[in-house]
Amino acid sequence: MVTMETAEIDTDLSLFKYDNLEQLPPEYRDLTEDERAPRIEAALAELGDDVVVLGHNYQRREIVEHADFVGDSYQLSKRAAEADAEYVVFGGVTFMAESADIITDEDQTVILPSMEASCPMAGMAEALQVDAAWAEITAAAPDAEIVPITYMNSYADLKAFCASQGGLVCTSSNAASAFGWAFERGDKVLFLPDKHLGENTAHELGMEDRIATWDPWDPEGKDPEEVAEADIILWDGYCQVHERFRERHVEEIRADHPGANVVVHPECRREVVEAADVVGSTSTICETIVNADPGEIWAIGTEIHLTNHLQRWHPEVEVLALCGDACMDCNAMRQIDPNYLTWVLEELVEGRERNVIEVAPREAELAKVALDRMLEV
């Protein structure tokens, strides 16, 4: 098995604290919470059943407080599919809103309050680049049936590509089942874009010795012989929020807080997942805290807004951030500024649709095949 290594990131966290309010009309830019909250509620009351607001667990408090449903990306895609509302306002990132647009009916409109909310990991596997790599990978194993699986954190064109090659989409809560689906139909899996989720899933399936990685940016990082040997080929993408966590953070928490438990997201490195007590999607992280006994100590290895929500929602549990102040917020998620939410809702009240997410019909049709396969596994 290849060793997973990514360059040590020593980042100035302030670089990630970027808020882009440029698209917002100036009169919305400086609204305070006291000014904005009643305006959001008034717009929601006016729109009634015409609108549903979905919020990912990583959204800011000022967004989740106004959401009809808060959850992980799998739950949100199911909620979007079930929604009757004419407008789905999505507190999340572009790939989530795209998936909602693909899953919802044609007469429903999906709105992403800020168009700047793009997940960097999704950008690490562009469909054109994957298409080129696919030619090399399939040539390296000409007799094998390779099934591509893309993580939900990817753009619609990559989801469409996977469908066209007999593959599917998965989220962090059903990756192992998606691999099972693929191995019933083929010999090898190409998993994109998150190498850590892929490696953690391979371990869950007892296939950790069957992995090769494919680094599309490094000529040395793609070995056709390894591809021919392996059953699972991992694209070399990662989430910078989750890559910060290291095994030593788990050790430090356990040393500083005797009796502490640790729950982490499967986008974390293998060493962190191995050192943790529980691993799972953002909804698993929430359930772990909901089910904790009062007084228990839980350190959380994921995006900081969710840790902060769980501290607020469950004061009976001692909730800690796994790497303290070094825990990051997701810059893509934070682009959904609550003033953008105010603006898009008030515009809807005036009959104007802003920041509509619309996937091209041919791409949407194919991507839906990959998403439907996911909803079935």
Give the binding site for ligand SF4 (CB under 6 A): 93, 119-121, 153, 239, 241, 267, 303, 330, 332-333
Element of type H or E holding 146 = strand 146-151
By CB under 6 A, residue 77 contacts ligand 13P: no
For ligand 13P, how many residues bind (rule: CB under 6 A)?
12
Question: Cβ 47 to ligand 13P, closest distance in Å?
Answer: 26
* Cα 259 from chain centroid (whole Å): 30
Question: Cβ 227 to ligand 13P, closest distance in Å?
Answer: 27
Where would I find the H helices in the chain?
Answer: 26-29, 33-47, 61-64, 73-82, 94-103, 127-140, 156-164, 175-185, 195-204, 224-229, 240-243, 247-256, 270-275, 282-290, 304-313, 331-334, 338-349, 361-376
Burial (CB < 10 A; 0-12, 13-18, 19+), residue 171, is buried
Query: Which residues, numbered 227-256, are part of the site for ligand 13P (CB under 6 A)?
Result: 239
By CB under 6 A, residue 307 contacts ligand 13P: no
One-character DSSP codes across 85-129: -SEEEEES-HHHHHHHHHHS-TT-EEE-S-TT---TTGGGS-HHH
> Using CB under 6 A as the criterion, what x/- string covers residues 139-168 for binding ligand 13P?
--------------x---------------
* Nearer to ligand 13P (CB atom), residue 281 or residue 342: 281
Whose tokens are 């753009």? That residue is 155
Q: Is residue 239 within 8 Å of 194, Cβ to Cβ? A: yes
* Nearer to ligand 13P (CB atom), residue 28 or residue 90: 90
Question: For ligand 13P, which stretch binds (CB under 6 A), given 71-79, 202-210, 213-221, 224-232?
Answer: 71-79
Question: For ligand 13P, which stretch binds (CB under 6 A), given 34-42, 68-76, 136-144, 348-356?
Answer: 68-76
Query: Contact with ligand 13P (CB under 6 A): which of 59, 73, 77, 355?
Result: 73
Question: Cβ 323 to ligand 13P, closest distance in Å?
Answer: 16
* Nearer to ligand 13P (CB atom), residue 281 or residue 288: 281
By CB under 6 A, residue 200 contacts ligand 13P: no
Q: Is residue 265 within 8 Å of 242, Cβ to Cβ? A: yes
By CB under 6 A, residue 171 contacts ligand 13P: yes
Question: Cβ 34 to ligand 13P, closest distance in Å?
Answer: 30
Cβ-based neighbours of 89, under 8 Å, separated by 6 or more: 51, 52, 53, 54, 111, 113, 341, 344, 345
Question: Cβ 25 to ligand 13P, closest distance in Å?
Answer: 29
Cβ count near 66 (within 10 Å)? 21
For the chain, state the CA radius of gyration: 21
Question: Cβ 171 to ligand SF4, closest distance in Å?
Answer: 11
Q: Is residue 136 within 8 Å of 359, Cβ to Cβ? A: no
* Nearer to ligand 13P (CB atom), residue 282 or residue 355: 282
Q: Which does 332 bind (CB under 5 to 8 A by kind): ligand SF4, ligand 13P, none?
A: ligand SF4
Q: Is residue 111 within 8 Å of 354, Cβ to Cβ? A: yes
Q: Characterize 194-205 residue by residue with b for buried, 16 or more Cβ atoms within 10 angstroms of its Cβ, and e for exposed.
A: bbbbbbbbbbeb
**Backbone dihedral angles phi then psi of residue 349, each to the nearest 5 degrees:** -60, -35
Q: Which does 232 bind (CB under 5 to 8 A by kind): ligand SF4, ligand 13P, none?
A: none
Question: Cβ 87 to ligand 13P, closest distance in Å?
Answer: 22
By CB under 6 A, residue 281 contacts ligand 13P: yes
Q: Which does 120 bind (CB under 5 to 8 A by kind): ligand 13P, ligand SF4, none?
A: ligand SF4
Interacting residues with ligand 13P (CB under 6 A): 57, 72-74, 153, 171-172, 239, 265, 267, 281-282
